[in-house]
Structure 1
């Protein structure tokens, strides 16, 4: 018999995780540092991902979205910013040490300038200035991206060409020489990225700079590393090495709370917007998934991660019952087959039924700032083949992750949605009264199906 879907995926992922990093080490890429320390924010704080994008319908208007999970984004304002002239393509956002948010963006299809704007609240923006890149003969100045190095220096990575057509782009960096971000160093080329690469996005992990860049000739996103921001970079992965597909551009990365990395990219020929996750030194990536609700509308976005006050919490080391928001007479239960459902429970129910709907909420086995749920016999609520079941812990890292869920705001006051720790973007939800972890869907039905209220325990 074939292995269950999730176990088969785990096996494949394990093999790739073993072989992928080995290949990169053989190519001279050190292991990623620091991912093990990633964790969800503590009680009273929450992760917020802010996305800025232009759209298929307008190159002159920027839209702002945010999300608690990097998957389901909510529009905060759109249009949120229109420059006084020309375009706003490829808007990139970061938060400066002065507490303000700053944009840089492509001002036009041709020319030698990039634009800058500022905001105190992420949604209301003020134009600052257009900056002329001081290189003679530039014909196109595209896709500026913020890069803040570990020494605090503020850099912009930008794709430049002097060709008469949109070819032969190379990546350069400019560095702010004052805290007001009004003066910039001379441009320095990122050696090794070229001769025709655009939309270069860089992240630093440990002592290594990791660059994701579109090869404008092949139309694939490539991967390169260097020990210095300006290189020389070695391009390690070409073609469809990650399964992102062709005719894709605008890569933008952000680290998730569980230590993984998420890349967003623009499938401009298909008219879709994708994301994919990696947990193994950028060697392998999950199957690309459309960004719910935004795919087909947004273009070339970047995402800023912050820790902010707020969020939702559950009381730990205490018993609770989890009531369905949209079926208020039903509660999460474990049946005799060890699987999870939502069943009717009332004061007239027998003690066994009430006991099946009562769980101890404990700090998450994989992350103490998230949650795990234990039934009266000591078994944990975990997913297997994306179905919810209750099993005794075997002490493995896989089990701990399967049994850990991070709280996100639910659809009603006081309710929560529980996101899978090791499958970000999947939520505990009921379907035909069975409990599963399913991919987030941008529908009211899904949000209601995945919302629960922790109430006084039935037993």
Structure 2
């Protein structure tokens, strides 16, 4: 099995493998395809909303847990009608192998707006988006939230599933369609006796699973049904609440390589822009366990995500089309929710998410004193670099001197606590390594015989 800790570095490698003219899959080849990658769609928000962008963003992954934002974490599709913005995007492979993209029609956080429409795009391979339109799903004075879709083989149609407060109750509604252009009349799909939000459907040959947020207690639950008929899930809840409070937007996807499922949830208060993950080896049972922050990464500021499996060729072509970021983020080994950042011109590690989020973005350039090493140039303060001064790390402007160049140059070596991660050895004090102590960055003398805690403080993952 591939090491999850190495997958973040594969984006650049897969660029070289990509081909130019990837054809659309037919229904026959789509059914037989071997999936070896994933795409995530999302919009962005951050704690103080400086990272808010209500448009379609994409990220790629080989393992479904560690993600590389594409297009510099900038949008790949922006609505041109309705509110001019989107939330809650959803990507699904259709029966002919092409993709449909759906999204809530809402630009911002004015949740009091009522909207009968959702956004829709077609895409052959997620490298371009065509046929933009809005679909009217009902005629009620109610908002239309978080649309998803599923294939109902018994009908030979797709169901478009969404949240709406209609007739005074929060429930899930469905419209049926063959082409995502003309839709049937709306029907109530799921109402278990209390308000629900954010439906996500996972279908298998052995049953169908609907996950949702219970508005009465804030927990995520799963319901199951042998059929996809409206209201057939109402009494089918089979899980205890996965987590309570401040989590919404569940999505469920299966590991491409084994019988393991992942459930993602989205924090909405008090911090925006953080995703959580649980895992289960048997989706038929109530057995979700948390995935630690050490084992997954998320795209920067990602909100209300969607995940769809890809073939290796589709994954590589997607990366080739949109490109990997020119910047990197670096997280701590023993504090895996903490990122290297600058604050008040001091180098430190802080828990993600935070604003300004750009404080944690770095250009790893050729070392100022040794081109075979690296220097850390700030993205939001270009021309300033992390350097040690009296062995304390701070963000200073490059003054062009040899002393500054040496102070700002570090050699990447296998991690002192984990050889699959990275440690950074000082160029001009080769017995000293970059490490955090009381959350501040400094350089200290370290070696393989140093205490385990000190070695962990000096071990980092270079990712996105």
Give the TM-score normalised by structure 1: 0.54
> What is the Cα deviation at residue 62 of structure 1?
1.5
Contact 1:169/1:194 (8 A) holds in 2 = no
* Aligned counterpart for 2:104 among listed residues 100, 106, 110: 106
Contact 1:170–1:194 (CA<8 Å) still a contact in 2?
no
Partner of 2:151: 148
Q: Find 2:92's aligned residue among 65, 83, 94.
A: 94
**Deviation (angstroms), 1:73:** 0.8
User: 2:169 maps to which residue?
Assistant: 168
In 2 relative to 1, CA 207–309 (structure 1 residues): closer, same or farther, beyond 3 Å? same
Map 1:11-410 → 2, pairs under 5 A: 47-56=36-45, 57-77=51-71, 78-85=74-81, 86=83, 87-108=85-106, 109=111, 110-126=114-130, 128-134=132-138, 136-150=139-153, 153-162=157-166, 168-177=169-178, 180-229=179-228, 230-233=230-233, 234-237=235-238, 241-242=241-242, 244-256=243-255, 257-269=257-269, 270-271=271-272, 272-280=274-282, 281-290=284-293, 292-294=296-298, 297-309=301-313
Cα 1:430/1:137, change in 2 over 3 Å: closer
Q: 1:430 Cα shift? A: 6.7
Conserved in 2, the CA contact under 8 Å of 1:211 and 1:224?
yes
The separation in 2 between residues aligned to 1:305 and 1:115, in whole angstroms, is: 22
Shift of 1:175: 1.6
Q: C-alpha distance in 2, partners of 1:308/1:194?
A: 43
Q: CA deviation at 1:68?
A: 0.4
Cα distance in 2 between the residues matched to 1:196 and 1:311: 38
Q: Distance in 1 between matches of 2:35 and 2:209?
A: 27
CA deviation after TM superposition for structure 1 residue 228, in Å: 2.2
2:27 counterpart residue number: none
Aligned-residue offset at 1:82: 0.7
Conservation of the 8 A alpha-carbon contact between 2:59 and 2:299: no
- 1:27-78 C-alpha deviation (Å, 9 max, x unpaired): xxxxxxxxxxxxxxx9x96611100001103352111011000011112232
Gaps of 5+ in 2: 1-31, 46-50, 317-417, 423-446, 450-457
Cα deviations by residue, 1:198-226 (Å, 9 ceiling, x for unpaired): 10111123342211111123211122122
- CA gap of 1:274–1:289, structure 2 versus 1, over 3 A, is farther
Q: Is this contact kept in 2: 1:59–1:89, CA < 8 A?
A: no
- In structure 2, relative to structure 1, the CA distance for the partners of 1:127 and 1:236 (3 Å cut) is same
In structure 2, what is the equivalent of residue 10 of structure 1?
A: none
Cα distance in 1 for partners of 2:251, 2:158 equals: 17
- So what's the TM-score if we normalise by structure 2? 0.53
* CA deviation profile, 1:266-297 (whole Å, cap 9, x unmatched): 01114321111101324111224458443671
Cα distance in 2 for residues equivalent to 1:176 and 1:131: 11
- Partners of 1:60 and 1:83 within 8 A in 2: no
Return the offset for 1:259. 0.9
Report Cα offsets for 1:166-213 as digits up to 9, x if no partner: x72111122213xx3211222222244454111011112334221111
Cα pair 1:267 1:273 within 8 Å, conserved: yes
1:264 Cα offset (Å)? 1.2
Q: Which residue pairs with 2:373 in the alignment?
A: none
Question: 1:64·1:123 contact (CA, 8 Å) conserved in 2?
Answer: no
> 1:95/1:45 Cα in 2 relative to 1: closer, same or farther (>3 Å)?
closer
Tell me if the contact between 1:54 and 1:91 (Cα under 8 Å) persists in the aligned partners: yes
